[in-house]
Amino acid sequence: MAEPVIDIRNLWTRRGGRIIHRDLSMQVETGEIIGLVGGSGSGKTSLLRVVIGLDAPERGTVRLFGIDPLNAGREKRLAVQRRFGTLFQAGALFSALSVFDNVALPLRELRGLDKRLIRDQVMLMLHLVEIEARDIDKMPAELSGGMVKRVALARALALDPELLVLDEPTAGLDPERSRSFVKLIQSLSLQQSLTVFMVTHDVDTLSMLASRVVVLADGRIVADDPLDQVKRNPHPFIASFFATAEPLPQPN
């Protein structure tokens, strides 16, 4: 049986003196699109940071593709890093680098490809996210919010990852751009057989993308089911979350 793409076991994390996660366990299988939701301070982004190795847990383990990167040797850790891409909430583009150089960065750092192969891969990724060749020399400050998201997605996809980690992928986008971005993720996940792990507060994003919804509250997972089942969960946070969520207006 194949190893889970993400395997979290008995995870405890702490920020300062406050416990964020208490004995949390979950798995993400190949090809799943997982939506992680929770209230402010529930530990969504903290969990994402632990999953991608930016922070270490206090106790427990996180394995990606069967490997615990924090306790692996350098070569294994780099091998794992090549297998996932991350899109941060604000895009996190480097302000001093052009569109082209932002997307080329992981290729230059991790693969040591020659310039021609790097250019071909960058242009392919920018084409996939619908960024035109005339925009490759623009700086991040010259881009719209939607373009920043798409360039950041191209960078996350540059190494042809098997896992895509998204932090609030539609935050800050207007309804039309949000819907367009979700459709782009949906299309790419099908084309490239991606496993997706995303933090989001947007119900429309969940309904269009997520095969499972995981809800964090009180430091624990209080639901881990398809969206329709989660909506029927009587937990107070879940009831409040879906009661106050407003669907995106549908196009005419």
What percent of the chain clears pLDDT 90, i.e. is strictly above it?
Answer: 41
Tell me what pLDDT residue 213 has: 95
Rounded Cα–Cα distance for residues 101 and 235 (Å): 46
Dump pLDDT digits (tens) for 229-242: 999 999 999 998 88
What is the arithmetic mean of pLDDT over 205-229? 91
Tell me what pLDDT residue 65 has: 94
Closest CA to 4 of 60, 62, 47, 64: 64
Upper half-sphere CA count for residue 23 (Cβ side, 13 Å): 0
Dump pLDDT digits (tens) for 34-58: 999 988 878 888 899 999 888 889 9
What is the arithmetic mean of pLDDT over 148-155? 89
Tell me what pLDDT residue 54 has: 86
What is the arithmetic mean of pLDDT over 125-150? 89
What is the arithmetic mean of pLDDT over 14-37? 91
Mean pLDDT (the chain) is 87
Ranges of each domain in the chain: 33-56+67-83+163-252, 94-160
Contact 131, 154 (CB under 8 A): yes
Contact 90, 169 (CB under 8 A): no
DSSP string, 136-158: TT--GGGS-HHHHHHHHHHHHHT
Superfamily, domain 33-56+67-83+163-252 = P-loop containing nucleotide triphosphate hydrolases (3.40.50.300)
Tell me what pLDDT residue 110 has: 65
What is the arithmetic mean of pLDDT over 181-196? 82
What is the arithmetic mean of pLDDT over 112-123? 86
